[in-house]
Chain A
Amino acid sequence: MTSAADAARATAARPAARRRAARRSPWRRVLTKLPFWLLIALIFVYALFPFYWALRSAFTPEADLFTRPLRYFPANPTLDNFREALSTSFFQRALINSTIVAGSVTLVSLAIGSLAAYALGRFRFRGRSMVLYLMLSMTIFPQIAILGALYTMVNDFHLYDRLGALVFSYLIFTLPFTVWVLTSFMRALPGDLEEAAYVDGATPLQVFYKVLLPLIAPGLVTTGLLAFIAAWNEYLYALSFVQTPQHYTVPLAITSFVGKSGSAFQVPWGQIMAATVVVTLPLITATLVLQRRILAGLTAGAVKG
């Protein structure tokens, strides 16, 4: 919506800009544009170099990684690091575990959250803004503040060292966020459709899943992805509630690689970087594919809040 308006404005502004540019000599134009492009290039390199370095290290044989001078491009590229990382049993399990945990947290949050968002976004009732404030304050809730209580609760429920402990505790940051963002999506929908459905004799619940839910499907995808990423990346609770390597999630596994000899002196950086590439690639792909929607979701959660 705004981008269309932007484009319109930009075309309107262009003649003036062109006139101004033509007045300057070509040399001055290059000179004034050069710092700008240098800055852009600098930002690019700054943002992407660490990824390049991870890729380069993942494809470099272990022996070459630990020789100096450093090579900036793998001379003998190899897949050995990937093969070894992926054949490590706890890393394999971690990929599955993280998918299970993040997937179920996301689904539960979306199910509960969309119902709440329906109430908060489409109904007017006393206490509505109070609930909204509660949800907003929960989104900035420091997780560390309840670690002790959750730790004892997890033990009381016999969930210690089980994935269930993580599904349960991750709700604290995925659910309020989901409610908050989905509410803003719900509120943005026009009222006529709903009224038409009511006139046709639909019940509120029918309106919810036959009219509103399909309309906010893009919002569900965005919010779901954001919740999934948050759960996939979580470290503090995973570190505290899980002990055996078979139950590790991805962040735990990434920090647990040990060299072949089992010694702590030689950290297997090649394998670690290969694992890094494996876990970030799906996230990066999903982010790039859905970048517009993610931006919309993030700004709905932050700037407009």
Chain B
Amino acid sequence: MGSLATPAPIRRRRRTKLQRRQTRLAWLLLVPALAAVAFVAIYPLGKTVYQSFTNQEFLAGIEPTRWVGLDNYRDLWHDSIFRDSVWTTVKFTLITVAFEFVLGLVIALVVNSSFKGRGVMRAVMLVPWAIPTVVAAQMWKWMLDDVFGVVNDLGVRSHVLSHSRAWISDPSTSLASVCAVDIWKTTPFVALLLLAGLQVIPRDLYEAADVDGASKLRQFWKITLPLLQPAILVTLIFRTLDALRVFDVFYVFFGSRPDTQTMAIYDQSTIVGDGHVGYGAAVSVAIFLIISLFVVIYVTFMRVNEER
């Protein structure tokens, strides 16, 4: 950068002056963005934490808002509906992230080998990602319809199913049916992220391994997987965080049916449906902490890996 051929002392003085002016200008340019973030994110976050220590109700006049200390959190600890919603969310997260990762990796490996129509393939993979989750959920809700759904029709015709099933309302298949939507919508995206990671791996490595007579499987374990690790970790983090705050698919499929609620749905119905702003804020803080916990786990895992 500073490669101008000016005498040293002058350059230094000019640089510090320039630097000061640059710093001031940089912060000036950042003011609108920082103000907006402070206003729509940081202030509301602080306000949520404050609300969680009060008994605030949305409809004024029911009870005057006052400080209740840790009451909300104590109630939350014994709230079995909330506990169920956490469990549902975690199950959903584990299932979808695992499936999306394995399927996504397979698809990424397939698309990474050069063949005719690879460009078309990549375009096709972007399509499910681009459409609204609500729309994807509606499409699948219709496909999973108990009487006129295509899934039942195909299943019965091919004798995989003995009879039509009510996939969405049957408690034993309801979680699987929402997972199916999420996996369908997000796997291609996971594949694209992994594909971007695959394309950075230098080809010479594989050529050298070929010369040495290493099998394809061995090449995958010894070259592809280790070099893909950064991309894998980032993808897993993004997917996990996304899955933990899932709302849309569940809401379209079940509304706020208590046995299939996610943490986000329980929180939304507590705040907007019932108007319990204070208690809902405590739920929000709990969700925030649970998600942060996952972030911490991932980040320490990454750091441990870097040190190795």
Contacts and interface: CB of A to CB of B under 8 A. Distances in A.
Contacts of B263: 144
Contacts of A172: 37, 40-41
B284 A288 contact: no
Interface in B132-147: 132-136, 138-140, 142-143, 145, 147
Nearest to A44: B124
Contacts of A131: 30, 34
B139 A276 contact: yes
Contacts of B176: none
A113 interface: yes
Interface string B117-139: 10001111111111111111011
B173 interface: no
Interface in B20-35: 22-23, 25-27, 29-30, 32-34
Contacts of A236: 247-248, 264, 268
Contacts of B284: 144-148
Interface in B200-235: 200, 203, 207, 230-231, 234-235
Question: Contact residue range for chain B?
Answer: 35 or more
Nearest to B206: A13
Given A43-B110, A69-B153, A116-B33, A287 B23 contact: no
Interface residues of A, number: 95
A276 B135 contact: yes
B67 interface: no
B90 interface: no
Interface of B is mostly: helix
A90 B131 CA distance: 20
A224 interface: no
A48 B124 contact: yes
A271 to B, nearest CB: 11
A127 B23 CA distance: 10
A239 B123 contact: no
Contacts of A88: none
A286 B127 CA distance: 10
B122 A176 contact: no
B41 A50 contact: no
Interface stretch (B6-14, B94-102, B237-245): B237-245
B134 A13 contact: no
Contact of A66 (B115, B148, B287): B148
B199 A151 contact: no
Contacts of A288: 123, 126-127
B238 A145 contact: no
A149 B29 CA distance: 28
Interface stretch (A23-31, A77-85, A134-142, A214-222): A134-142
Q: Which of B26, B150, B281, B284 has the most CB of A within 10 A?
A: B26
A47 B188 contact: yes
B44 A116 contact: no
A15 to B, nearest CB: 12
10 contacts: A39-B110, A69-B153, A144-B287, A148-B280, A149-B44, A152-B56, A235-B251, A236-B264, A280-B130, A284-B127
Chain A to chain B: the 7 pairs with minimum beta-carbon distance, closest first:
A116-B33, A149-B44, A233-B132, A119-B29, A149-B47, A146-B44, A251-B134
Interface of A: 2, 6, 9-10, 13, 16, 36, 39-40, 43-44, 46-48, 50-51, 53-54, 57, 65-66, 68-70, 112-113, 115-116, 118-120, 123-128, 131, 134-135, 138, 140-153, 155, 168-169, 171-172, 175-176, 179, 191, 204, 229, 232-233, 235-236, 239-240, 250-251, 254-255, 269, 272-273, 276, 279-280, 283-284, 286-288, 291, 294-295, 298-299, 302-303, 305
Given A2-B200, A145-B48, 14 more contacts: A6-B199, A112-B32, A115-B29, A119-B25, A144-B263, A147-B280, A148-B284, A149-B47, A152-B56, A169-B40, A171-B36, A175-B33, A273-B142, A303-B230
